[in-house]
Amino acid sequence: MKIVLLERNSAGTDVPVDCFSELGEVTIYPNTVTAEEVAERVKDADVIVCNKAPMREESLKDAPNVKLICELATGFDNCDLNYCKSRGIQVRNVVDYSTSMVAQHTFTLALALSQKLPYYDNYVKSGAYGAQDRFSNFDRQFFELEGKTWGIIGMGNIGRRVAQLATAFGCKVIFHSVTGKSTCTEYPQVDKDTLLAESDFLSLHCPLSDLTRNFIDREALRKMKKSAILINVARGPVVNNTDLYEALMADEIQAAGLDVIEKEPITPDNPLGKIMDSNKLIITPHLAWASVESRTRCVQGVFENIRTFMQGIDRNVVNP
C-alpha cells in the first residue's frame, strides 16, 4: 500500500506518525493546499491522508489507484463524497477524539469573557491595582454561571459534553436542532427564536452545511440578549463575521469567543481583526481540538481506519 500524508503538520510535529509505516510505504508532505499540488502528489497513491486539501475530481482524476481517503479530522467538507463514491473510493473520518478538549475550550472562552479576565489581568499588570488603597477591585461587573441559561446548537458528542459541564455549573441548558432530527431528550429542545432570546451563553457545535451557513447573522444577533456571550467552536461560516463585528461594535451582544472564523487563517479584510478589546472578543487560531492527547488520538484513529480497511472491516465510513 502506498500511503500519502498530504498535511502531516496538521497533527503537529510534536505528535509522531511513525505508526503508518507499519501499514505500507509512506510519503509525507508537511502541507498541501492546492488541487494542483494534490494531483501531483497522489497520482500513485493507494491511500490518502488529508485534512483540508481538496479531494475532488480535479485533484483525483489522475490518481487511478486511490482506494481510501482518511481525514485527519472529523470534518470532511473538503471531500466531494459523490465523486469519491462514483470512483469506489471510500472516505473515513475520525470521531470523538477531541470532545473533551473542545468542551474545555468552550468554557475557557466563556469564563474568560464573562468574568472579564482580560480586563482584570491588565488592571494588575498595568500598576493600577498596586496604586489603589483597597484590597480588591470589581469595577467591571461579572456574574455567576449558576442560574443562567446555556443554549446549544448542535447536540452531538461535543454539544452533550458542554451541556453536562454547563449543568455542573448550575446552568439551565436548552438546545436547538437545525435539522429537527435530534434524538436528545435530556434537555429541552426549543425553536431558534426561543434559543436566541433566552440564552445567556450560546455555544455552537454544529457541522457546516447549507442549513448552518450564516446561521448566526444580523437578524439572529439582534434577537439575542444584550448581555449574551456567543461561543463558536464549530465552523467559521456558521457565524457571519461582518454581522458579528457590527453587533459587537453596537453592543448588541456583550461578547464573543471564537476558535473558528470564515476564512482561516484570518485575512486582512475580516473586520473582526480590528477589534483589539479582548473583553469584547477573543479569537483563538482553530486550536480548540488540539491538545496533545486529542492529536495523538486523531493519528491513532487514522491508523485504525487504514488498518481495518486493509482487513475489509468498515469503520467510520462517511460515504457508504
Catalytic residue among 286, 304, 307, 315: 286
Nearest to 149 by CA among 165, 131, 173: 173
Q: How far is CA 280 from CA 189, 254, 285, in A?
A: 29, 7, 17
Is 252 known to be catalytic? no
Give me the residue label for grid cell 436542532.
Answer: 177
Give me the residue label for grid cell 475489509.
Answer: 312
Catalytic residue among 8, 160, 235, 295: 235
Q: What is the dihedral of CA 231, 232, 238, 240, to 10 degrees?
A: 60
Q: What is the DSSP letter of 189?
A: B
Is 264 known to be catalytic? yes
Please give the full DSSP string across 273-304, using - where no structure is assigned.
Answer: GG---TTTEEE--S-TT--HHHHHHHHHHHHH
Is 286 known to be catalytic? yes
**What SS3 state is found at 105?**
helix
Q: What is the spatial distance between Cα 27 and Cα 38, in angstroms, rounded to a whole number?
A: 13
Sheet holding 281-283, edge to edge: 172-176, 149-153, 201-204, 229-232, 255-258, 281-283
Here the cell at position 220 is: 439572529
What amino acid positions are annotated as catalytic residues?
235, 264, 286
